[in-house]
């Protein structure tokens, strides 16, 4: 993904130029760091007899080093975002190339090519990736990786809202037509000033009689125009406000639905407060913008256009003078627009900061209080608010200057019209009525300009909001749905992990893991925390996709299955069971809302939960709080086991299901789990080894690698990593035994299984 300063083909060309008669170029990998780890373009090339090092000398790609291929070894490692490709001969390091991880795929291709060469395959593979010049490994389109570039900047975000407006286009058209007519109606009264002056008032002043019939006709005309304007204005506001409200609702729903389809790691990297602010406040802001400000703006534009037409039809010289300040105001708006937009975007971000403090503090209130840090959290909130104030103060400085400037220009415009008008009247070029009509028009005209200038800030705010919404909508889930998902047959439950690696940021969490789990087998995964146990489970559940390798279920790559279809076959019991607000029954039936009451009770019985549920005040209809707070940890856990039992999954995942409860409760849960495990492919993670006594096979993970596998007895006999873990726990259990009274100690010692 790293853009280089050199043409990608240049390396291949330079390497090819060096080739001897019987030599073939096998692979080229770009590098972007030099020996001192400074950014410098370079490359490694692999041929059928040599390995070449290339660098840029005087802006040309040149070979700067070469080593014969026999008895050397090529290894690829990485740390902290930098990968290094080492060429060793025996024990000596001959060459090292370093580059950022973006170039790692190409380097891996080079290592693969070298391995094939070592195995006697000396043919260059076809299908080279154009961008990085390496071979495309079978089944992986690396070229896409290379070609993947940032998406075009979404500056016209508001226009993209059209996608949500489309379904309402007929109603929008109606609203627009109403606006047009309503605006025309409001233009009638000033037009009537001209004949009122010229035909009635001035002749009367000059001694003629008032034509009462004409007066009443004009007055009726004024009244009618006002009434029509009122009625039409009401209708168009009603129609358009309704539409925009619906667009806002659609936008909100679409964003939330899109959010739900994001992978678990997306939520890990975003803050709840920020996402909530985006979906809640931003959609609302866009909504208000559409229903109020945009509507006003359209009306204003129409008003100005129509007024200009009328003015020109009356007197084009005076019209020209009247319209003179328009470009100046337009320019002013344009200048300020940019500064304001930036300001408002920053203000939005700061606002998220304010909500983030709330979202962090409120769920963690017990920790805050326990450590007596209320003062610090208050200070954090105050600081966020202060920051908010600072930003807004700066924006307001620009903004407050803006509106009065427009007013000033308006006044100057009026002055110009008066001056020019009086001069024209004195020359008998126009009547007093015409001047009066002009003044009446431009009174409205300039106030419109003033309110139009306000649209700038509203548009910028809404555009900033739209951008933040589209940030979510544009984010492709990194667990993508396949384009043509395979139909999932009833699962047997075989799980295969083939050379699976997973990287989280720049940390390699799982390395080259191979594991074949038979249908119905129970696998226990043990290892220290941070050894990659939970990541392994996340990969099987497809919460993440592996960076390398494949996860297969019944021989099918899970990436070829529709995500939801696949997950329906997985029952998950977590360390911290999450109960939604609702009744116990609803919580048990979460994965299968159509389950009958009898089924729910059956599942609860099997999960050892029935009795305590019956002891609750309203049985299965008892409400459990946001996090099931009225229930104990063990009770919540049994509800979540019942939830997993009810969907009758082929694959069962127990992620530290018993580690947060005491040993007595653990027994009850263990009994429930034993019911659950029957005949299902199970992957159980446990810190306490005793929990895994029923496992058919144990897998010991250490820093992302599988170091041992086998049954408890086999592993104990091997006296390796598992043995060490077991001894450590047994010692701990003994220590505990010394501390607790004998009556309570029995459960603990059983747990140690020493």
Partner 1 sequence: MNAPVPDGWNLFRNPAGHWCLEAEGVSRERVCVVRAFPIGAPTGAVCVLDAEGHERLWIDDVSALDEVRRERVEAALASREFTPVIEAILHISSISTPSRWTVRTDRGITDLLLPGEEALQRVGARSLLVADADGVQYLIRDIPALDRTSRRLLERFL
Q: Which residues bind partner 1 (CB under 8 A)?
A: 1-3, 32-33, 36-40, 79-82, 86, 88, 91-93, 96, 100-102, 149-155, 269-271, 342, 345-346, 349, 467, 470-471, 503, 505-507, 703
CB of residue 343 to partner 1, shortest distance in Å: 10
CB of residue 101 to partner 1, shortest distance in Å: 4
- Closest to partner 1 by CB, 154 vs 665, is 154
CB of residue 682 to partner 1, shortest distance in Å: 30
CB of residue 133 to partner 1, shortest distance in Å: 19
CB of residue 506 to partner 1, shortest distance in Å: 3
Of 473, 496, 470, 612, the residue nearest 558 (C-alpha): 496
- Closest to partner 1 by CB, 316 vs 376, is 376
Q: What is the dihedral of CA 721, 722, 725, 731, to 10 degrees?
A: -120
Helix, strand or coil for residue 73? Answer: strand
- Closest to partner 1 by CB, 349 vs 712, is 349
- Closest to partner 1 by CB, 92 vs 260, is 92
Sheet containing 548-553: give its strands across: 507-517, 495-504, 548-553, 556-557
- How far apart are the C-alpha atoms of 254 and 246, rounded to whole Å? 12
User: Backbone dihedral region of 150: left (phi > 0), alpha (psi from -120 to 50 degrees) or beta?
Assistant: beta
Q: Which residues contact 488 (CB under 8 A, 6 or more apart)?
A: 556, 561, 562, 565, 566, 569
- Closest to partner 1 by CB, 17 vs 383, is 383
CB of residue 96 to partner 1, shortest distance in Å: 7
CB of residue 470 to partner 1, shortest distance in Å: 8
Place of tokens 């090292």: 96
CB of residue 278 to partner 1, shortest distance in Å: 11
- How far apart are the C-alpha atoms of 555 and 494, rounded to whole Å? 8
- Closest to partner 1 by CB, 506 vs 629, is 506
Angle 742-752/721-739 helices, nearest 10 degrees? Answer: 180
- Closest to partner 1 by CB, 427 vs 529, is 529
Eight-class DSSP state of 72:
-
- How far apart are the C-alpha atoms of 337 and 511, rounded to whole Å? 51
8 Å CB contact between 294 and 243: no
Tokens found for residue 628: 């099931």
CB of residue 288 to partner 1, shortest distance in Å: 22
CA-based radius of gyration for the chain = 37
Q: Which residues on adjacent β-strands are paired with residue 697? A: 523
- Whole-angstrom CA distances from 196 to 18, 345, 442 are 95, 51, 18
Of 187, 171, 223, 408, the residue nearest 300 (C-alpha): 187
- Whole-angstrom CA distances from 384 to 253, 367, 379, 389, 653 are 29, 21, 9, 9, 41
Sheet containing 39-47: give its strands across: 60-68, 50-57, 39-47, 25-33, 92-100, 82-89, 73-79
CB of residue 297 to partner 1, shortest distance in Å: 24
CB of residue 402 to partner 1, shortest distance in Å: 21
- How far apart are the C-alpha atoms of 458 and 311, rounded to whole Å? 30
- Closest to partner 1 by CB, 125 vs 723, is 723
Q: Which residues contact 220 (CB under 8 A, 6 or more apart)?
A: none
- Closest to partner 1 by CB, 24 vs 281, is 281
8 Å CB contact between 657 and 684: yes
8 Å CB contact between 492 and 554: yes
CB of residue 260 to partner 1, shortest distance in Å: 18
Q: Which helix (H) or strand (E) holds 441?
A: helix 432-474
- How far apart are the C-alpha atoms of 556 and 454, rounded to whole Å? 58
CB of residue 707 to partner 1, shortest distance in Å: 11
Tokens found for residue 707: 């170091």
């Amino acid at each position: 993904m790293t853009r280089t300063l050199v043409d990608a083909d240049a390396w291949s060309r330079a390497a090819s130029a060096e080739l001897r008669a019987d030599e073939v170029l096998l692979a080229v990998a770009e590098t972007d760091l030099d020996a001192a780890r400074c950014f410098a373009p370079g490359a490694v090339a692999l041929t059928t007899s040599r390995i070449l090092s290339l660098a840029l000398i005087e802006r040309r790609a040149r070979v700067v080093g070469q080593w014969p291929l026999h008895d050397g070894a090529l290894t690829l490692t990485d740390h902290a975002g930098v990968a290094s490709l080492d060429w060793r001969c025996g024990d000596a390091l001959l060459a090292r190339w370093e580059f950022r991880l973006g170039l790692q795929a190409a380097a891996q291709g080079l290592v693969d090519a070298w391995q094939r060469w070592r195995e006697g395959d000396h043919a260059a593979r076809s299908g080279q990736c154009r961008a990085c010049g390496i071979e495309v490994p079978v089944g992986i389109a690396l070229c896409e990786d290379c070609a993947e570039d940032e998406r075009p900047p979404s500056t016209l975000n508001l226009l993209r809202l059209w996608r949500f407006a489309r379904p309402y286009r007929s109603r929008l058209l109606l609203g627009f037509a109403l606006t047009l007519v309503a605006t025309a109606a409001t233009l009638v009264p000033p037009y009537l000033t001209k004949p009122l002056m010229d035909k009635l008032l001035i002749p009367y002043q000059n001694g003629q009689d008032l034509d009462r019939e004409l007066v009443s006709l004009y007055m009726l005309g004024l009244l009618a125009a006002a009434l029509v304007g009122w009625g039409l204005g009401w209708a168009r506001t009603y129609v358009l406000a309704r539409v925009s409200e619906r667009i806002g609702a659609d936008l909100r729903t679409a964003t939330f639905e899109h959010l739900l389809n994001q992978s678990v790691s997306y939520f890990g990297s975003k803050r709840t407060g920020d996402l909530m602010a985006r979906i809640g406040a931003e959609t609302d802001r866009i909504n208000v913008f559409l229903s109020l400000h945009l509507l006003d703006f359209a009306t204003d534009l129409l008003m100005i256009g129509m007024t200009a037409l009328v003015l020109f039809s009356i007197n084009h010289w005076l019209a020209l003078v009247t319209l003179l300040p328009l470009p100046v105001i337009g320019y002013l708006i344009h200048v300020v627009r940019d500064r304001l937009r930036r300001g408002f975007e920053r203000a939005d971000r700061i606002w998220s900061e304010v909500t983030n403090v709330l979202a962090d503090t409120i769920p963690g209130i017990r920790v805050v209080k326990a450590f007596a840090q209320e003062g610090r959290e208050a200070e954090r909130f105050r600081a966020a608010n202060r920051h908010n104030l600072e930003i807004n103060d700066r924006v307001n400085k620009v903004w407050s200057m803006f509106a009065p400037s427009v007013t000033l220009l308006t006044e100057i415009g009026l002055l110009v019209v008066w001056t020019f008008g009086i001069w024209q009247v004195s020359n008998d070029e126009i009547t007093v009525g015409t001047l009066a009509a002009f003044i009446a028009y431009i009174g409205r005209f300039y106030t419109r300009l003033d309110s139009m200038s306000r649209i700038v800030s509203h548009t910028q705010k809404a555009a900033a909001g739209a951008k933040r919404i589209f940030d979510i909508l544009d984010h492709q889930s990194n667990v993508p749905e396949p384009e043509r998902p395979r139909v999932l047959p009833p699962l047997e439950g075989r799980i295969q992990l083939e050379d699976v690696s997973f990287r989280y940021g720049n940390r390699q969490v799982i390395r080259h893991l191979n594991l074949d789990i038979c249908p119905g087998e129970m696998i226990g995964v043990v290892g220290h925390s941070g050894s990659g146990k939970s990541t392994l489970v996340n990969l099987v559940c497809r919460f993440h996709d592996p960076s390398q390798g494949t996860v297969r279920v019944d021989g099918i790559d899970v990436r070829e299955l529709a995500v939801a279809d696949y997950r329906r076959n997985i029952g998950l019991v977590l360390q911290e069971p999450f109960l939604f607000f609702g009744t116990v029954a609803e919580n048990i039936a979460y994965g299968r809302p159509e389950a009958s009451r009898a089924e729910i009770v059956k599942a609860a019985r099997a999960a050892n939960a029935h009795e305590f549920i019956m002891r609750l005040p309203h049985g299965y209809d008892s409400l459990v709080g946001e996090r099931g707070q009225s229930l104990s940890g063990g009770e919540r856990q049994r509800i979540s086991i019942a939830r997993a039992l009810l969907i009758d999954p082929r694959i069962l995942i127990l992620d530290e299901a018993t580690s947060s409860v005491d040993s007595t409760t653990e027994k009850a849960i263990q009994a429930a789990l034993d019911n659950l495990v029957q005949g299902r492919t199970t992957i159980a993670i446990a810190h306490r080894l005793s929990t895994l006594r029923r496992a058919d096979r144990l897998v010991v993970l250490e820093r992302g690698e599988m170091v041992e596998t086998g049954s408890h007895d086999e592993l104990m006999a091997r006296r390796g990593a598992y043995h060490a873990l077991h001894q450590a726990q047994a010692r701990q259990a003994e220590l505990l035994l010394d501390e607790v009274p004998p009556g309570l100690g029995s459960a603990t010692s059983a747990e140690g299984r020493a």
